Amino acid sequence: MKPLIYLFVRSFVNGLRRTFTSPKRTLGFIFFASYYFFAVIRPFGSASSQFVNFPHHPKLSMPPIEVLDGCIFGVMGTISLFLLANVASYKGAYRPADVDVLFATPVSPKLVLVFRMVRDYLFTLIAPLIIGIFAYRGASLGLDELFRNYPTHGADILRLTWISWMLLSLSWVSISYAVSMFVGRSDLKSDVNHKVINFVLAAITLSSIGYVAVRLRGDLSWETALDLSHSPFLRVAFFPATLATEMVVQGVQGNLAMALLYFAASAGIIVASFAAAMTQVGWLYDQAAAKGLSAAAMRSLRRSGSAYSLMAMRAREGKLKRGRLSGTISGWRLTGAPALLWKELLMQMRGTLAGSTLIMVVIAFGYGAVAYGLGPPSQGAVVNVMLLLLSGMAGYMFALTNGFSGFRELLLKVDLIKPIPISPAKTIFWEILAKAPIPCLQILIGCLFASIVSPSLALSSAGSFLFGVSVLFESLGAVLLTLMLFPDYEDPTQRGLSGLVMLLAIALSVAPGVALLILLLVYFRENILIATIPSFLLSIGITAGMAAISGGLYMGFNPNE
Amino acid sequence: MLQVQNLVKQYKRFTAVDNLSFTISPGEIVGLLGPNGAGKTTALRCIAGILRPTSGEIVINGAEIVAQPSLAKAQLSFVPEVPSLYELLTVEEHLRFVAMCFDKLDVFDSQASLLLERYDLDGKRHELVATLSKGMRQKLSVACALIHNANVFLLDEPLIGIDPEGARELKNEIYRVKEEGGSVLISTHLLDTAERLCDRVIILRNGRKIAEGTLSDLQRISGNEGKSLEDVFLALTSG
């Protein structure tokens, strides 16, 4: 165990030290730590203190034990349903270095598995522990007040629920390891096992959802929901949740022996699953080397934001097929800088066409609904604003999705793009332009759909299209500039900071155009096309300015720094 | 001594290594050759105890890799083709970690200094692995393989990415291992190096052994008397 602890501690300490080696990393770390302090720790702490000091506590009488039982099983069962769906997927988050260095040493795979499971247990316990540490006092006092007529104190209910939640989490971690290791082996027999287990899991999940849906559809009432929570089928299907619930319920009723029995049964599941996982330990390294490396490569690509490389990997695994449209674009003959446009279109077609088409349909329906629901003669000004908002949102969203993956690719493939005889300024110009055609088409189709639904909105739709394109270009410029300034996207602290700065940059770049549009709309209330033209021209200027700065940064950009 | 008997490795329905058998005696250097996708790396990973063989037996100085993995691995060193290392450890910590895994901390101080100096890593001793160049990583990987005095060495393309000085040092190291009675299995595409370095070669194609022997054996088998290993290899693997 010593080498594993050494590896964990040294990596953690060195990682922390590295955080303070550059101002950017330090700033990112401060942002990261502040985010968690303000978003996670402080709200729980302040909520508990507010609850304690709340002057007028609501005074509820004791709910029947069946209600408490049903509510707890409802929560535990829902958590179990989500965890069940993921139970057979590969769990060992091993790094390529584990395979190349650790697995070739005499360190026992049993030790590696125990270490990994204990680490996962601890991670699983972080959420209940944080809540326990920061919100326990307030919540227990509150529950004491709410359930003061129970034979047991409200704080005891909380304590028991907390313990049962932890047991439930640990049970699922153990079950997941046992099942995923059993079905993840590279032999043929395990292929059959995988299919059988997947079938059983799908059957349990779907039949449970179907059962609940049918019962609620027949009679959507509180009584039915309560009755469902006591259904023997659900209680058996989600037995870890049943044990966790019964532990609380028996404890609340003062049946300590029964509560302990359910506690022991939950602990038994954990121990049995742990032991079952241990029987598969001989396959641990094999699974990690065969599956873990591909999972690790995917994780690394996802972390680095390399969306296109991820798709290429999925294509290599046979999960993405070649489309006809991309074949047509592939035949285009563009030379010089416009070849960058060709490359980008081709990659978008091969990578994100299915998603883009779905978004296009959703957007078209959104525009159609706005035109149909709010169109003239009912509310002219409102529909104009709604169309503008829709196009603006579409432009912003497309810039974030297309722009982010495309520009990350540009920065990751510097060694490929920079040697091409195209100046950095031209490269940046064409790279920004290349991200626009498909989003523009998507916004255009939405606006056309609105015009078809309500022909009198044709000019407003045209104006809204121009506005959408303005927001798209400004946002693209802002996304690229932010990525140039914070390119170290694999570092989580940098990623958080970069995300925040990106949103700010988009807001700042869009703001002048929006302000001008609002000003002009005061004069051209009925004709938003005329009002959007100056705003569109301004957006082109702003984008050109950001592109020029990005071009300068790109010229000196070195991914190894 | 390394003995591989009827080694088979299947991934579901795909057979990566098919019934491979060979023996490497003490003091022998054997080259494992084959075109891309021939199963060389899979075979090496099975021998190193990283992949579990579907069937067959791998015995390292009397210890079977599946039945007695700790005993077998304690006598084995493996250098992967593109070494993935722990990025957040320093060079010295990385070596120390490997020494801890092999329970060789008692000789760590003397061995580490020697290896770091020999592979030009002394100046990088306290730097994070994340900051090392590709060649430096390869050197560190080799140093890690040498830290625990193994007597069976598995080297997967060990000379790729190393500068000439490092390559010379590594070749000398391999000869040193041979002189001390160690067994070495090298997978490589550098046929001229294999010709000079190896006592024997094994040629794989589609997971199967298609030839084994000294250069003169292979020349005779392929009907290319007096030709280089490159000519022999191409004759045996084409078609």
Q: In 10 A of CB A420, how many CB atoms?
A: 11
Pairing relation of β-strands B55-60 and B2-11? Answer: antiparallel
Determine the pLDDT at residue A474: 93
- Classify residue A310: in a domain, yes or no: no
Nearest CA in chain A to B150: A105
**A187 and chain B in contact, CB less than 8 A:** yes
Name the minimum distance, in Å, from the CA of B146 to any CA of chain A.
Answer: 12
Cα separation, A185 vs A182, in Å, equals 7
Written as six digits, the tokens of A545 are 């300015």
Q: What is the largest CA-CA distance in chain B?
A: 54
Q: Where are the beta strands (DSSP E) in chain B?
A: 2-11, 14-24, 28-33, 55-60, 63-64, 76-79, 152-156, 183-187, 200-205, 208-213
Q: In this complex, which of A18, A96, A109 lies closest to B128 when CB atoms are compared? A: A18
Determine the pLDDT at residue A55: 47
B54–A107: do the CB atoms touch at under 8 Å? Answer: no
CA A340 to each of CA A231, A328, A432, A434: distance values in angstroms, whole numbers, following the listed order: 60, 16, 10, 7
B2-75+150-237: CATH homologous superfamily? P-loop containing nucleotide triphosphate hydrolases (3.40.50.300)
Q: Do the beta carbons of residue B52 and residue B66 sit within 8 Å?
A: yes
What tens digit of pLDDT does each residue of B36-94 get? 888 898 999 999 988 889 899 999 998 998 888 889 999 999 988 888 889 889 999 99
- Classify residue A3: in a domain, yes or no: no
Check whether the bond before A377 is cis (ω within 30° of 0): yes
Residues of A in contact with B83 (CB under 8 A): 100-101
A106–B144: do the CB atoms touch at under 8 Å? Answer: no
User: CA torsion A504→A506→A512→A515, rounded to 10°?
Assistant: -90
A6–B100: do the CB atoms touch at under 8 Å? Answer: yes
**B134 and chain A in contact, CB less than 8 A:** no
**B137 and chain A in contact, CB less than 8 A:** no
Whether residue A455 sits in one domain with residue A344: yes
Q: Do the beta carbons of residue A49 and residue A141 sit within 8 Å?
A: no
Written as six digits, the tokens of A308 are 């296109």
B97–A109: do the CB atoms touch at under 8 Å? Answer: no
Cα separation, A561 vs A556, in Å, equals 11
DSSP symbols for B126-172: TSBGGG--HHHHHHHHHHHHHTT--SEEEEESTTTT--HHHHHHHHH
Name the minimum distance, in Å, from the CA of A132 to any CA of chain B.
Answer: 32
CB-count exposure of residue A197 (10 Å: 0-12, 13-18, 19+): middle
- Which of A16, A18, A105 to substitute to test the interface with B, most B CBs within 10 Å? A105
pLDDT, one tens digit for every residue, chain B (239 residues): 889 999 999 887 788 899 999 999 999 999 999 888 888 989 999 999 888 898 999 999 989 988 888 899 999 999 888 888 898 899 999 999 999 998 888 888 888 888 898 888 888 989 998 888 888 888 898 899 888 888 899 999 888 877 888 888 888 888 988 898 889 999 988 888 888 889 999 999 988 988 888 888 888 888 888 888 888 888 888 86
Q: In 10 A of CB A341, how many CB atoms?
A: 18
Whether residue A380 sits in one domain with residue A288: no
Name the minimum distance, in Å, from the CA of B140 to any CA of chain A.
Answer: 11
Strands laid side by side in the B2-11 sheet? B14-24, B2-11, B55-60, B63-64
Pairing relation of β-strands B76-79 and B55-60? Answer: unpaired
Whether residue A523 sits in one domain with residue A448: yes
Strands laid side by side in the B76-79 sheet? B76-79, B152-156, B183-187, B28-33, B200-205, B208-213
Question: Token pair 């760590």 is at which residue?
Answer: B108
- Distant-in-sequence, close-in-space partners of A370: CB < 8 Å, separation ≥ 6: A383, A386, A387, A390, A450
B23 forms beta bridges with B3
B2 forms beta bridges with B24, B60
- Classify residue A53: in a domain, yes or no: no
Residues of B in contact with A188 (CB under 8 A): 10, 12-13
A188–B12: do the CB atoms touch at under 8 Å? Answer: yes
Q: Do the beta carbons of residue A161 and residue A72 sit within 8 Å?
A: yes
Three-state DSSP at A394 gives helix
Cα separation, B88 vs A278, in Å, equals 29
Which residues between 86 and 105 in chain B have a beta carbon less than 8 angstroms from any beta carbon of chain A? 86-90, 93-94, 96-98, 100-103
**B39 and chain A in contact, CB less than 8 A:** no
Domain that holds residue A106: 64-299
Q: In this complex, which of B10, B54, B86 lies closest to A97 when CB atoms are compared? A: B86
Phi, psi of B186 (to 5 degrees): -115, 125
B29 forms beta bridges with B184
Determine the pLDDT at residue B94: 92
CB-count exposure of residue A557 (10 Å: 0-12, 13-18, 19+): middle
- Classify residue A311: in a domain, yes or no: no
Determine the pLDDT at residue B202: 92
Name the minimum distance, in Å, from the CA of A177 to any CA of chain B.
Answer: 19
Closest CA to A411 of A488, A501, A505, A333: A488
Determine the pLDDT at residue A327: 76
Q: Do the beta carbons of residue A559 and residue A414 sit within 8 Å?
A: yes
- Classify residue A164: in a domain, yes or no: yes
Three-state DSSP at B206 gives coil
Determine the pLDDT at residue A287: 81
For chain A, how many structural domains are there in total? Answer: 2
Residues of A in contact with B73 (CB under 8 A): 104-106
How many contacts (CB atoms, under 8 Å) link A and B?
105
Whether residue A281 sits in one domain with residue A360: no
B87–A97: do the CB atoms touch at under 8 Å? Answer: yes
Q: In this complex, which of B50, B70, B141 lies closest to A108 when CB atoms are compared? A: B70
**B158 and chain A in contact, CB less than 8 A:** no
A100–B11: do the CB atoms touch at under 8 Å? Answer: no
Q: In this complex, which of A3, A101, A191 lies closest to B85 when CB atoms are compared? A: A101
Determine the pLDDT at residue A139: 65
- Distant-in-sequence, close-in-space partners of A245: CB < 8 Å, separation ≥ 6: A69, A72, A73, A76, A164
- Distant-in-sequence, close-in-space partners of A522: CB < 8 Å, separation ≥ 6: none
Whether residue A343 sits in one domain with residue A247: no
Determine the pLDDT at residue A542: 93
**B33 and chain A in contact, CB less than 8 A:** no
CA-angle at A207, arms to A204 and A211, nearest 5°: 135
Name the minimum distance, in Å, from the CA of A485 to any CA of chain B.
Answer: 21
Cα separation, B137 vs B86, in Å, equals 10
The residues spanned by each domain of chain B are 2-75+150-237, 84-149
Residues of A in contact with B158 (CB under 8 A): none
Cα separation, B70 vs A88, in Å, equals 29
CA-angle at A29, arms to A26 and A34, nearest 5°: 125
Q: In 10 A of CB A561, how many CB atoms?
A: 7
Q: In this complex, which of B70, B77, B89 lies closest to A14 when CB atoms are compared? A: B89
**pLDDT average per 10 residues of sequence, chain A (561 residues):** 87 83 74 69 54 48 73 85 78 76 87 83 70 66 62 65 81 86 79 85 86 78 81 87 86 81 89 88 82 66 69 68 73 85 83 72 82 64 83 89 83 82 87 90 89 84 92 93 81 73 91 90 79 91 92 80 61
CA-angle at A274, arms to A269 and A275, nearest 5°: 100
**A53 and chain B in contact, CB less than 8 A:** no
Determine the pLDDT at residue A51: 45
A3–B69: do the CB atoms touch at under 8 Å? Answer: no
- Whole-angstrom Cα Rg for chain B: 18
What ipTM does this complex have? 0.84
Cα separation, A411 vs A485, in Å, equals 11
Name the minimum distance, in Å, from the CA of A10 to any CA of chain B.
Answer: 6
- Distant-in-sequence, close-in-space partners of B170: CB < 8 Å, separation ≥ 6: B142, B158, B159, B162
- Which of B10, B12, B41, B146 to substitute to test the interface with A, most A CBs within 10 Å? B12
Whether residue A530 sits in one domain with residue A440: yes
Q: Do the beta carbons of residue A124 and residue A171 sit within 8 Å?
A: no
| DSSP 8-state class, residue B7 | E
Three-state DSSP at A145 gives helix
Nearest CA in chain A to B145: A101
